[in-house]
Amino acid sequence: MKGKRMFMVTRSALFALVFVLAAAGCSSVSSSSTADDSSWESRLARATTFEEGRQMYEYAPRGSEVQKAAKKKFEVILTPRLAAATTLEEVRKVYLDAPYGSGVQKAAVEKLEAILKPRLAAATTLEEVRGMYLDAPYGSGVQKAVVEKMLSLATTFEEVARVYRYAPEGSEVKKAAVEKLEAILTPILVAATTLEEVRRVYAYAPYGSGVQKAALEKLEAILTPILAAATTREKVLEVYWGAPDGSKVRKAAAEKLGAIRHNTK
């Protein structure tokens, strides 16, 4: 009986100790969290330079109140910089440094467009216009205008293909680039007689375009008799790897490879 009483007393003491330690831990965490918040706030209050403002915005806990406050302070620091900026490089630097979607970034976009529009209008060579594509804010009206002018100046396959890559998906300029590429590639495809020449047109043609489909048909017309005449595994493999992925002739080559493998067992 005495032993049982001692056990109960000991267990109660242990529970009490655990409770005290847990309470102390919670208090410590709370104090630590409060101290961390206080540390961020004090650092933000001391931040006055561009570098200090940027570091506070970048390193503050994401989505926290202190990051929101840091964003506002960083904008306050950047705004006079933008106002004083006169060159393309200076304005672009503010644009790149500004928090995404912030008021100062939008203002920088407007200032960049004001600088670039007259330059774009005066540009006469593809090289001049191409340089503006990288300077223009992503997705801006002036960037779209740059791509359109690039296409109007592009004459060679390489130049038009570059515009095709730059143009936003689904845009009118992308569709126009496809048409221009097809106009360039179609006579090349007509004149192509070798497997390598036709394969090159197929590889360069815009995906799903009419000229790519025509190149696929011409590739299959060249490869089908080669496959029919192939008797060794190596020759069939050449056709298999030379045929476009998913094409009829590649499937036929795969079947022939399977038959060869079966017959050699």
Task: Label each residue of 185-208 as H, E or C.
Answer: HHHHHHHCCCHHHHHHHHHHCCCC
How many angstroms separate the CA atoms of 200 and 188, rounded? 10
Taking the C-alpha atoms of residue 79 and residue 70, their distance in angstroms, rounded to an integer, is 14
- Please, what's the b/e burial string for 180-206 (b: 16 or more CB within 10 A of its CB; e: otherwise)? bbbebbbebbeebeebebbbbbbebbb
Output the pLDDT for position 26. Answer: 46
Candidates 173, 115, 114; CA nearest to 148 is: 173
Task: Tell me if 151 sits within 8 A of 122, measured CB to CB.
Answer: no
| Residue 22 CB coordination number (10 Å) | 10
| pTM for the predicted model, two decimal places | 0.62
pLDDT at 13: 53
Using the structure block, give the residue that is written with the tokens 């200076």: 90
Give the per-residue pLDDT at 43: 74
**Do 91 and 104 touch, CB atoms closer than 8 A?**
no
pLDDT of the residue at 17? 47
Residue linked to tokens 């106009």: 183
Sequential pLDDT tens for the chain (265 residues):
545 555 454 555 555 544 444 444 444 444 444 445 567 677 777 777 778 878 877 877 788 887 888 888 888 889 999 999 999 999 999 999 998 889 999 999 999 999 999 999 999 999 899 889 889 998 899 999 999 999 999 999 999 998 998 888 888 999 999 999 999 999 999 999 999 999 999 999 998 999 999 999 999 999 999 999 998 999 999 999 989 988 999 999 999 998 888 776 5
- Report the pLDDT value the prediction gives residue 5, as an integer from 0 to 100: 53
Residue-level pLDDT at 36? 53
Are 166 and 150 in contact, with CB atoms under 8 Å apart?
Answer: yes
The C-alpha angle 144, 150, 153, rounded to 5 degrees, equals 145
